[in-house]
Amino acid sequence: MTIIIADKSHTIHAQTICEAIEAAAQVRGTGIAKRSVDYIISKMETHNAVIALEGSTFAGFCYIETWSHDKFVANSGLIVHPDFRNQGLAKKIKNVVFEHSRAKYPLAKIFSITTGLAVMKLNTDLGYKPVTFSELTDEPSFWKGCQTCKNYDVLQRTSQSMCLCTGMLYDPNSKSETVSGKVKDKTFLRLKSIKQSLFLKKHKK
């Protein structure tokens, strides 16, 4: 398996990546938003993406976005092809994209919004902390990116103050150490289930 910073030579995989993201976005609760082929290509061409390849086969992907004049960096669109899941690949991709983000934007706060326990675990291992959305970028174009998520109605109903996703932030100025040991899975699962019962049940009525 090769995990590298993507460049122009990887644009042949952009369509496959979009299809994989689109399939994952159909599942309510995933919290991943669709992206166009052109958008994925632009991330590759500007070296703001990481791709995992098994030979010449696409296995996984993640990209970097910058917001608020590079004050914030988001590592978004993490996707592992179903054939390569549960083998530690997302963890490796997240590590590479995190190190790349730190090297390229050393002063930026790095954030992620996710509903997935897997991503919450990975973020926690990297030193991210859960935060309210008010701690993240207020740039409208970032939140506009949520429009293609199945849960966008929830974000609108709360005037963008909360959603099923949990905001997580790595602050390079924070003195706290990277969390070691087991992540409190139960806490995250409980938070997720509280949010789902608050937002989704009411909406169904």
For residue 94, give every residue at least 6 positions away whose Cβ sits within 8 Å of its Cβ, in sequence order, or none: 62, 75, 78, 119, 122, 123, 126
Considering beta carbons, is residue 87 or 134 the nearer one to ligand COA?
A: 87
| CA distance linking residue 201 with residue 199, whole number of Å | 6
Q: Helices 185-196 and 117-126 meet at what angle, rounded to 10?
A: 130
Task: Please report, as ranges, the residues that interact with ligand COA according to CB under 6 A.
Answer: 24, 30-32, 78-80, 85-91, 114, 116-119, 121-122
Which residues on neighbouring strands pair with residue 189, listed in sequence order? none
- What is the nearest approach in angstroms of ligand COA to the Cβ of residue 36? 17
- What is the nearest approach in angstroms of ligand COA to the Cβ of residue 205? 27
| CA distance linking residue 202 with residue 205, whole number of Å | 6
- What is the nearest approach in angstroms of ligand COA to the Cβ of residue 79? 4
- What is the nearest approach in angstroms of ligand COA to the Cβ of residue 91? 4
- What is the nearest approach in angstroms of ligand COA to the Cβ of residue 94? 8
**Residue 105, both tokens:** 């934007």
Considering beta carbons, is residue 8 or 15 the nearer one to ligand COA?
A: 15
User: Strand, coil or helix: what is 121?
Assistant: helix
Considering beta carbons, is residue 31 or 127 the nearer one to ligand COA?
A: 31
